[in-house]
């Protein structure tokens, strides 16, 4: 006889417990992939932000060099 489909109360209780663990596992897997997607997106945004800051630093350095050249002339 299948324990999970049994009419005896203790086995029915085990069936509910197993089903609850299964639902919890599915929920945890879904949440894991959502968090992984968000972390990947945040890393992409952070990398683009770092690139932008480096570009701005390079622009500032070029401006400073031009100002020094203009002052020397």
Residues 6+ apart with CB under 8 A from 11: 3, 4
Number of domains in the chain: 1
Band (pLDDT 50/70/90 cuts) for residue 6 is low
Has residue 1 got a pLDDT over 60?
Answer: no
Kindly report, residue by residue over 19-40, the tens digit of the pLDDT: 999 999 999 999 999 999 988 8
Residue 53: domain span = 4-72
């Amino acid at each position: 006889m299948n324990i999970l489909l049994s009419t005896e109360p203790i086995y029915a209780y085990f069936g509910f417990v197993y089903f609850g663990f299964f639902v919890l596992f599915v929920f945890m897997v879904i949440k894991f992939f959502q968090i992984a997607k968000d972390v990947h997106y945040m890393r992409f945004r952070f990398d683009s932000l770092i690139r932008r800051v480096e570009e701005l630093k390079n622009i500032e350095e070029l401006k400073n060099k031009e100002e020094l050249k203009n002052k020397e002339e």
